[in-house]
Amino acid sequence: MQDLPICIKCEVSGKVHGVWFRAGTKDQAASLGLTGWVRNLPDGRVAVMACGNKSTVLALVEWLKRGPELAEVSEVIHREVPFEKFERFAILR
């Protein structure tokens, strides 16, 4: 079975602002060879768009459920979206 490229959008809830969540997500995504972005949402959640091979995208989703050391993740909602090509994985403001 081929590991086809996909994109997913995630919304991460919990204590995810002010705990290096975006930087940790960027580092983890880059180490997995993914592209996309991460940004804080005004309501206290973090949004993530990740694109790459399905197995590595799903590995990032598993990491998002834990997050960096200081985070306290309560929920990760994710859905597959149409594939988009990004140059790298970026932190958006």
**pLDDT tens, residue by residue, 6-17:** 999 999 999 999
* Dihedral, 60, 73, 12, 50 alpha carbons, nearest 10: -10
**pLDDT tens, residue by residue, 15-29:** 999 999 999 999 999
In the block, residue with structure tokens 């997050």? 67
- For 35, other C-beta atoms within 10 Å of its C-beta total 19
Q: The domain that contains 78 carries what CATH number?
A: 3.30.70.100
| Domains: count for the chain | 1
pLDDT band at 74 (very low <50, low <70, confident <90, very high): very high
pLDDT band at 2 (very low <50, low <70, confident <90, very high): low
Rg (CA), the chain: 12
pLDDT in the model for residue 13: 98
Annotated active-site positions, please?
Answer: 22, 40
Question: Residue 59, CB half-sphere, CA atoms under 13 Å: how many?
Answer: 13
**pLDDT tens, residue by residue, 33-65:** 999 999 999 999 999 999 999 999 999 999 999
Chain centroid, CA 67 distance in Å? 10
Enclosing domain of residue 77:
5-91
